[in-house]
Chain A
Amino acid sequence: MRSVYVVVVLLGVAAILVDHLSSPSSDRAVSPEDFAGACAPCGAPCPSKK
């Protein structure tokens, strides 16, 4: 199990690095709730907006 964990940690950190270096970054970290019209932590719209 230790070897599995070593692989998972290394692949995970590598994936984060690749994603970060190949994607744009905001001025600050955000949550979907920060966007206009968001009504839930995932950014779902409010029922009244439909």
Chain B
Amino acid sequence: MSSASLAASEKGAAVRIDLLFLGLALASTSILIALVLLDHQPASAALILGGFGLGIAFLKAEFSYTASWRRFLTRGEAGGLLGGLIVIAICALAVVPVAALSPKFGGAIAPLGPSLIIGAFVFGVGMQLANGCGSGTLYTVGGGSGRMLVTLLFFVIGSVLGSLSLPAFLALGGVDPVLAPDYLGPWGGLAVTLASIVVAAALIIAVARRRGATFIPSRSYLVGGIVIGLLCVVVFAAGGHPWSVTFAYTVWGAKAAAALGFDLSQFAFWQWPGPKHALAESVLSDTSSLTDFGVLFGAVAAAAATKPFAAAPWPPMKSLLAAGIGGLLMGWGARLGFGCNIGAFVGGVASGSLHGWIWFLAALPGCLVGIRLRPLFGLSRE
């Protein structure tokens, strides 16, 4: 028997621990940590553990960028959106000055151009169809959602297709990254970054007020935002760059393709030094993969510690179709848009990079389109 009722809460509701999946999550995490420690890489172990904490925090707080953006767009409710800005503000306090002052660290930067805007827009459509974004896909897969397993599979496929498309879209033109600390120094850059977050929060609150909706973050978004923000700082300290999610998917897909006999190394994207190195080296040498593994197993552990894991039935086929299409669009969009809501929006804004805000402004209308398409797949617009 894999599930055992081990204790009862004060209110009398039984807390059931799924020993099989809790054991699988802890054993898998331990194996990965042992492997990187055998290679004398304590920072890699810290990335796995940081991701593990993020998986727990996202799942327990039910911290959803997708749902909170949808609630804002459909009802004007801004609490979730503001919870997301708390994450960015906390992360920025460390990232902007440290990345500017220490050559061992760097921010999340990206060029500005058509590729960024198109990618973010398509990602926005996909996240509403899939019902999860980059981080959301990870922690809901870890939480036991079979539907999101489908999303993850197609996210990986889409991101590989995106890697093949990106050079052509970059050829459309663009300008180099615009980074606040480059112009204003570490502390001036931090001040401008925090000010931009305050201005965005004020605008979001104004919209919520005009629509007669609430804008106070719930307790879970407030506490979750603070904890996730602090863990983002841990990941930054261990990895040297802000947390990113989707590059790992591209590497996993490319390695799977190689195993199936498709050699991607001839394509332009895979000849750039970073991707080339990631494709050739162990997946445990990639910071994005290490954190993602941690998030997945952290969420599995958190879910299995409280109830029977993955006990829900499979959703209807139309819902699975939306999950697949959404995953495909997010994967492709994430590569063209230089990341997801974590790597591009959270990481970008927290680095003082203009591309983070442009990504956000392009992804929002994409979300509107995605919300309009949801009923076609039997999904609510709410």
Contact = CB atoms under 8 A, between A and B. Distances in A.
B121 interface: no
Contacts of A36: 273
A31 B110 contact: no
B18 to A, nearest CB: 9
Contact of B176 (A24, A25, A47): A47
B282 A25 contact: yes
B285 A25 contact: yes
Interface string A16-27: 110110011111
Interface stretch (B36-44, B66-74, B84-92): B36-44
Contacts of A47: 111, 113, 170, 173-176
A14 B33 CA distance: 15
B24 A31 contact: no
B339 A41 contact: yes
Contacts, number: 169
B166 A42 contact: yes
A36 to B, nearest CB: 7
B241 A35 contact: no
B56 to A, nearest CB: 17
A33 B103 CA distance: 13
A1 to B, nearest CB: 5
B343 to A, nearest CB: 5
A27 to B, nearest CB: 8
Contacts of A45: 170, 272
B58 interface: no
B335 interface: yes
Interface string B1-42: 000000000000000000011001000100110011001010
A38 B149 contact: no
B285 A33 contact: no
Interface in B257-285: 269, 272-275, 277-278, 280-285
Interface of B: 20-21, 24, 28, 31-32, 35-36, 39, 41, 43-44, 47, 106, 108-111, 113, 144, 146, 149, 163, 166, 170, 173-177, 239-241, 244, 247, 250, 255, 269, 272-275, 277-278, 280-288, 290, 293, 300, 309-314, 335, 338-339, 343-344, 347
Closest 10 CB pairs of A and B: A32-B274, A43-B274, A35-B273, A40-B110, A23-B282, A20-B282, A47-B174, A40-B338, A26-B285, A1-B146
